[in-house]
Structure 1
Amino acid sequence: MACAVLVALVPAGCGLPDLADLPLPGGAPQGAGYTVTAEFSDVLDLVPQAAVKVDDVTVGSVERISLAGWTARATLRLDADVRLPANATAAVRQSSLLGEKYVTVAAPPTGASGDRLAEGDVIPLSRTARGAEVEEVLAALGLLLNGGGLAQLRTINRELGAALDGREPAVRDALGRLDEFIGGLDRQKADLVRALDALDRLSARLHRQKTVLGEAVDSLAPGLTVLARQRAQLTGALTALGKLGTVGTRVVDRSRDDTLADLKALRPILEQLARAGDDLPKSLDFMLSYPFPPNVTGAIVGDFVNLSVTADLDSASILANLVAAAPAPARPVAPPRTGATAPKPGGPATGPSPGAGPLPQLPLTRCLPDPEDFPATWTPPRDCLLPEGCVLLRPGSPVPVGGLILPKGVVPPGTALPAGTELPAGTVMSAQCVLPVTGAVTGRIGDLPDILGGGLRP
């Protein structure tokens, strides 16, 4: 009868539909589209021509399924109008409890990429998933119902309630502390990861040096053997050391008063040494060249030595020292005057004639620098009658060759400045300020009446 109906329809002009006009199975795009590949750990019973859906709308189909190692690769044909981010996800779903399998493609829940999914892209295994099979659900339910632990759950619940009964505050406090502990670990996650990475690097380095470490451990064996043999001697030495410490403590305690007395007796000596300052090393330096001063090498010329003598011929001072029981106060010493030339070997000393008048005094107010504003290098004026090149350097300056440093700030004899002149401590004199030992006569020439009259007069 069906053939009759078919024969009856043919003459009526109702022909069979063209297969090209029918939609492709699975909802494959009839026009332009693009192909992507999705990797799955298990595609279940997914078959080619299965539907590909986006938001439950069929937008393509599965072209083929292949296997690469232990990973299934499904080639998906999508309609050209489907726009998905490049980091889209894919999953194998089931239309109903006993329905067919299909692939759903969707954008990630967060962090969607700005690029689009395009021809030839691959959705890796990390962005794919599959749904649970009915068989798996029934198997798990059967395991739970058939001796899967339901009877034990009641026992566990009862024992847990008995254990927590009356201890709710302690348990709550423990949970709070556990929460704080886990929170601290979470905040230090980066530090923990860095520590684990450092430990990994250390372990790798130790592994590379395993041979060296083994040799080092093997080398320790003889030393440990010797220590083990000498254990009794070491123990005896430590015991004797303990006894020595006890005896030493007793000796120190008994000699404490004597030690303190000795230190107190040494105090005056140390104070005098401290007051001596640099005079003691200078005296030791003088002893090396006794009876001549340390700079005598500059005064030795051939087979003779030039000497300089300063005579104080003040009659009042002389008579006071010779006659009076108590010496009279000495008059201030006049500053050195350069009024005579140095005698040549074999010739008499010459000097200014009597009555020539006194030499000009050294103007100290203008010939000394201001201590409050000491320049780096101070050059006295020409009318100070100081040797040419005689300059004073600020304290702390390097001492030139042949120069002199004044540690106490007092000018000693033998310089161009009057002895006893006070300068800032540490002032440095140039070599030109130190008078050479040349045998020059410093003073005035006069007769006995001039001496008895109180000094040399013009």
Structure 2
Amino acid sequence: MRRALVLLLLLLTGCEATQRSYSVTAEFTDVLDLVPMAAVKVNDVTVGSVEEITLRGFVAVVRMKLSEGVDLPDNATAAIRQSSLLGEKFVALAAPAGQAGQAGQGKLGNGDLIGLDRTRQGAEVEEVLAALGLLLNGGGLAQLKTINQEVVKALTGREGDAKGALHELDRFITGLDAQKAEIVKTIEALDRLAAGLATQTEVIGNALDALAPGLTVLAQQREQLTDALVALRDLSEVGVRVIDASAKDTVASLKALQPILDNLVAAGDALPKGIDFALTFPFPPNAQKAITGDFVRLHATLDLDAASILANLMASAGGAPLPALPQLPLPQLPTLPLPSLPPLPLPSLPPLPLPTVLPSGLLPSLPGLPPILPGVRLGRSDPMTGEVAGMRGGLSALLIGGEPA
């Protein structure tokens, strides 16, 4: 009866413990010889046990059961440690070390996963003994002694240089550390460049194949290229001698050109206008539009009013009377006896016929002349082409407006 009561109490206690616990899973690269039912500790206090160890690819998955009162942050870490030198393995859970401000983030709960980035395992005693045996069995002591002796020989008498080299190396490393971000950016840029070149491997291969014939031709013409470079060097030497010998003459020629250039600058716009007129001499440039075939269209109107001509002459003279010329004394010439010449008969000239009607405005009204008609037009111009038809006849025909030619 007592045994039954004890068993019942144990079952009730187990059920209560099961209800007050939660499961957490951790991933390890190596669980060593960890076995199920191994202890799970926090600060060397057992808070749970390992329920199951499974393999997922090359990762060992350890499922643990923790008591409900275990309070750990959501970013807790897990490590496989050993209770003593030959003791059993257990899983140690802890808050992330050296990450102040993150220890209180979240809370580890049922079903949470502690990834590979937050798990680790301690060194095995066998690994430590194996490394120690390798060192003690001549695997490293002899080499270490040789290295020490050679370093001493190399540094003997050069302590100052070695110290300076170490200081320079320290500054170099400090500079590299200060430019760490730029170095990372450069490496990333090189990575992008390499990725771009990798996508264009075929294009680069075709370009290299296309360069091969050109490189072959250059290799074949190597001697000619060398001779050309040597000749170019000789040409430069000759050019330097010529420039040195003609420097004064060149400067003198430039100085002689200065007045010409000054006159060209002073000419300004007149020079291109003069050149334009010289191409069409003796006609002005705008006369090209009047030339049609073998004749030139011309229209001219002449004002032959004598009164206007005299008025213009007086106006050009300023309206002032002409100055009287001084009377110069003339020398008294001796009188020479002249022979008497016989009288010569003079022919009588017939009177010139004048028109009975003169165009007005051509001449001013003079006594003994008939009235004058309005002005004279020397030609008739075509209103469409501007061509002028000349007048036919003598002076009288011109004055009275004769028939067109």
TM-score by length of structure 2 reads: 0.65
1:39 aligned onto 2:34: no
Is 1:73 paired with 2:61? yes
Aligned-residue sequence identity (percent) comes to 55
- Structure 2 distance, partners of 1:239, 1:141, is 70
Secondary structure at the aligned position of 2:41 is classed as strand
Cross-structure match for 2:246: 255
* CA positional deviation for 1:17: 2.5
Contact 1:61 1:78 in 2 (8 A): yes
Closer/same/farther in 2, CA of residues 167 and 307 from structure 1, 3 Å limit: farther
Partner of 1:123 in structure 2?
114
Name the CA distance, whole Å, in 2 between partners of 1:289 and 1:347: 40
Report the CA distance shift for 1:221/1:319 in structure 2 as closer, same or farther (over 3 A).
Answer: farther
TM-aligned CA distance change 1:137 to 1:220, over 3 Å: closer
Summarize the Cα distance change of 1:133–1:233 in structure 2 as closer, same or farther, 3 Å threshold.
closer
* Contact persistence 1:39–1:74 (CA under 8 A): yes
Change (3 A) 1:235 1:347: farther
**2:249 & 2:215 partners in 1: Cα distance?**
47
Residue correspondences, number: 313
Match for 2:271 among 280, 291, 303?
A: 280
Q: Is the contact made by 1:53 and 1:103 (CA closer than 8 Å) also made in structure 2?
A: yes
State the one-letter code of the partner of 1:48. P
5+ residue gaps, structure 2, are: 291-296, 304-308, 327-358, 363-405
Q: Which residue of 1 aligns with 2:152?
A: 161
User: 2: CA distance between counterparts of 1:50 and 1:320?
Assistant: 148
* SS class of match (1:146): helix
| Distance of 1:74 and 1:247 partners within structure 2 | 89
Secondary structure, counterpart of 1:313 in structure 2: helix
- 5+ long unaligned stretches in structure 1: 1-9, 325-345, 350-458
> Aligned partner of 2:193: which letter?
L
Distance 2:163 2:239 in 1: 61
Give the secondary structure class of the aligned counterpart of 1:108: coil
Distance across 1 between alignment mates of 2:287 and 2:361: 23
C-alpha change, 1:199 and 1:274, in structure 2 (3 Å) is: same
2:89 to 79, 101, 106: 101
Structure 1 runs (4+) greater than 6 angstroms displaced: 13-16, 22-25, 288-299, 306-312, 317-321, 346-349
Instruction: Provide the C-alpha distance between the structure 2 equivalents of 1:167 and 1:161, rounded to a whole number of angstroms.
Output: 10
Q: How far did residue 132 of structure 1 move?
A: 2.0
RMSD (Å), alpha carbons: 4.0
- Tell me the equivalent position of 1:50: 38
Please name the residue that 2:377 is paired with.
Answer: none
Residue 18 of structure 1 corresponds to 7
Structure 1 position 181 matched with structure 2 position 172 = yes
Task: Tell me if the contact between 2:75 and 2:105 (Cα under 8 Å) persists in the aligned partners.
Answer: no
Contact kept? 2:52, 2:63, Cα under 8 Å:
yes
For residues 135-156 of structure 1, what are the alpha-carbon distances to aligned partners after superposition, in whole Å with 9 as ceiling and x for unaligned?
2222222222222333444444
- 1:174 positional shift: 1.8
**1:87 counterpart letter in structure 2:** N
Is 1:219 paired with 2:219?
Answer: no
2:19 partner SS: coil
1-structure distance, mates of 2:136, 2:6: 55
Match of 1:234 in 2: 225
Does the 8 A contact of 1:40 with 1:129 survive in 2?
yes
Closer, same or farther: CA 140–223 of 1 in aligned 2, 3 Å:
closer
In our comparison, the structure showing a higher alpha carbon Rg is 2
In the alignment, residue 81 of structure 2 is paired with which amino acid? R
The yes-or-no answer on 1:315 pairing with 2:310 is no
Kindly provide the amino acid, as one letter, of the partner of residue 250 in structure 2.
Answer: T
Amino acid in structure 2 at the alignment position of 1:32: R
CA distance in 2, matches of 1:238, 1:44: 74
Distance 1:293 1:84 in 2: 108
Contact 1:29 1:77 in 2 (8 A): no
- For residues 97-130 of structure 1, the C-alpha deviation after alignment (integer angstroms, 9 at most, x for no partner) is 2222211111111143622222222111121111
Distance 1:149 1:243, change over 3 A: closer
Deviation at 1:70, TM superposition (A): 1.4
Q: Which one-letter code corresponds to 1:245 in the other structure?
A: S
The one-letter amino acid of 1:18's match is L
Separation in structure 2 between the aligned mates of residue 304 and residue 179 of structure 1, nearest angstrom = 101
Could you report, residue by residue, the CA deviation over 1:254-312 in whole angstroms, capped at 9, with x for unpaired residues?
A: 3333333322222111111111122222334555677787789999xx96358999989
Residue 249 to residue 99, structure 1, CA distance change in 2 (3 Å): closer
CA separation in 2, counterparts of 1:312 and 1:139? 138
2: CA distance between counterparts of 1:250 and 1:319?
A: 77
Structure 2 residue aligned with 1:194:
185
Structure 2 residue 57 is matched with structure 1 residue 62: no
CA contact (8 A) 1:53 1:60 kept: yes
CA–CA distance in 2 between the matches of 1:226 and 1:169? 56
Amino acid at match of 1:143: L
**1:304 partner amino acid:** H
Following TM superposition, by how much is the alpha carbon of 1:211 offset from its aligned partner in structure 2, in angstroms?
Answer: 1.8
Q: Is the 8 A contact 1:31 1:79 kept in 2?
A: no
Q: Is the CA contact 1:23–1:30 (under 8 Å) kept in the aligned structure 2?
A: no
